Amino acid sequence: MTDEDISWLDLVTVASLIRKRELTSVQVTEAQLRRISRLDPSLHAYARTTPELALAQAHAADARQAQGETLGPLHGVPIAVKDLCWTAGINTAAGMPIYQDFIPSTDATVVRLLREAGAVLLGKLQMTESAFSGHHPDIVVPVNPWDSLGWTGVSSSGSGVATAAGLCFGSLGTDTGGSIRFPSAACGVTGLKPTWGRVSRHGVFELAASLDHIGPMCRTAADCGVMLGVLAGADPFDSTALQSPVPDYLAGNMGSLAGVRIGLDATYVATDVEPEVSAAVNQARAVFESLGAQIVSVNMPDADDLVESWVPHCAIEAAVAHTATFPARRAEYGPMLAGLLDLGLRLTATDYQRILLKRATHTGQLNALMLQVDLLLMPAMPFASPATERIANLRLEPGYRKRLSRFTAPTDMSGHPTLTFPAGSTTKGRPAAAQLVAAHLNEGLLVRAGRAFQGATDWHLRRPPSLDIFNSPERKLGSD
C-alpha cells in the first residue's frame, strides 16, 4: 500500500487495519510524516510537528499490539490537535506569538484521553489568534487544499486543512462562534460540535468560556463518532464537564432513518444564502427522505438580535481570559483580537446581563422546537467555499459578521450539538456543506444520520484535485 493509499483511509478503517495487523502503526505514521514533509511547507496546516514523539508512540503501539494489548479505539492511529490544547513538554501557542515559548507541564484532558486511547500525535495545528476570527499578522495562514486562494474558515483553519489534505486521520477543533463548522464546510470535511460541556475544556486556551466547544474534525461522521466517544465525559479538572454517561456513538441503524423527524425552515435556509448552498441543503433533504426520514416544516426562532449579541458576549468573556496579558502587552496582539478585547473592557455588567437574557430566551425557544423534531437541517454558512479575498472584502460590509454566523452562533449560544458535512459541490468543484442540529446530548443521532447520509452519497469521499500542485511555484489554482 502506497503512502497515498494509506493517507486517504478513513480513521475507522486505518484503526481496523492496525488492529488486524494488516498495517503497523509505524508504517502508517511514517507515511503520514512523509506526506506532511512533502505538502505542509505549502499548506501550512501545522504550527509544529512532533515526528520523534509520533514515531516513539507508534513503535510503542506496535509493541503492545504484538503482545495482544490494545489501548483503545484509536490504537496506533495518527491524529493532530489544534494548537490551543496543552501538550506536556510541547509548545502550545494558541495562534499567539505572545505564547510561542509557552510549554505546558501537563496535557489538556482531551490530549490525555486521545493518548490513553492509543492515538499517535503528529503535531499541533495552526489556528487564528486565540481562536478569534483573524490570524495574527506574524502567522503564516493555512492554505485551502481545494484552492490556494480559497478561504480555510476560522478559527480551526489548520484542522480543516490537515484533515482535508490527508495530513492526519482526525483532528481536534474548537467552536465558539462557528470555528469547527466554517473550516469543515470550506475544506470539505465532517465536523462534530458536541453539546457544551460534553467534552472537558481543561487545559484548552479559552476564547469565551461559556461558548467554547471542543470536538472532532474528520473525513466521516463515523470517524467523528469514534473520536467523540474517546473525548466525552466527566472530568474532575473541569466542573462544567457534564456527568451524563457516554453512549456508543456508532450504535443505531445507519441504513435507515425511518421515524426520524428532520425539521426544515424553507425560508430560513434560503434567505440571503448562495444558491449552491441552498442546493446542497435541498439535496441533503432528498437523501434523508430516501432513507426514511420525515421532513417536517418548522419556523426557526428569530435569532437576529442574538447573533448581533455574539461579538459583545465573546468580547466580555475573552477580556477575562486575557487578563494576565491584556492590555499590558497590547502591542504584541494582532488588530482583530486586540479590538475584541478593547470592546470587552468597555462593556458593562448591564450590557452582559441583557445578552444573557437573550441567550436564555433563545435556548428555551430552541429546546421547545426540538420537542417537535429530532433534528434540524440547515446550512453551515451562507457562502459556498468563498475565496479569501472575498471574505476580506465582506468584512468591510455592514452586517458581515451577522450574515456569516447566522447559522452557527445561535447554537454556540444555546449549547446544542451540530454535525457539519459535505453535501454538494460548487460549479468550480469546491465543497458545499449542510448542517444538522440535535437536542442536547443527542450526538448519537447526529452521527447516525451523518453515517446514513454518507452511506448513500460520496461527497465525503471526494478529494482536493492535484494536491501536488502546491509544490509547484509556477501555478496557482483558480479564484472566484
Please indicate whether residue 82 is annotated as part of the active site. yes
Residue with cell 444520520: 449
Residue with cell 456543506: 433
At 428, list the grid cell: 468550480
| Cα of 207 vs its chain's centroid, Å | 15
| 3 state DSSP class of 24 | coil
β-pair type (261-264, 190-193): unpaired
Q: Residue 378 phi/psi, 5° resolution? A: -160, 170
The answer, yes or no, to whether the previous bond of 155 is cis (omega within 30 of 0) is yes
Strand partners, 434: 421
Q: 10 Å Cβ neighbour count for 404?
A: 23
219 touches 12 (CB < 8 A): no
Nearest to 206 by CA among 355, 392, 340, 48: 340
392 touches 434 (CB < 8 A): no
Annotated catalytic residue, options 155, 156, 157, 159: 155
CA–CA distance, 322 with 150 (Å, rounded to integer)? 31
Nearest to 92 by CA among 121, 114, 116: 121
Q: Is the dihedral of CA 459, 460, 466, 469 positive or negative?
A: positive
Axis crossing angle, helix 51-66 with helix 25-43, rounded to the nearest 10? 160
Please indicate whether residue 193 is annotated as part of the active site. no
Element (H or E) spanning 420, and its range?
A: strand 418-425
| 3 state DSSP class of 120 | strand
User: What b/e sequence results for 153-165 when a residue is b if at least 16 CB atoms lie within 10 Å of its CB, and e otherwise?
Assistant: bbbbbbbbbbbbb
At 280, list the grid cell: 446542497
Annotated catalytic residue, options 7, 179, 200, 414: 179
Nearest to 216 by CA among 228, 207, 204: 228
Axis crossing angle, helix 157-164 with helix 25-43, rounded to the nearest 10? 120
Annotated catalytic residue, options 25, 42, 82, 130: 82
CA–CA distance, 295 with 151 (Å, rounded to integer)? 32
Helix and strand counts by DSSP (H, E) for the chain: 16, 11
What is the DSSP track for 187-210?
HT-EEEEPPTTSB--TTB--SSTT
Strand partners, 121: 79
Q: Which residues are catalytic?
A: 82, 155, 179
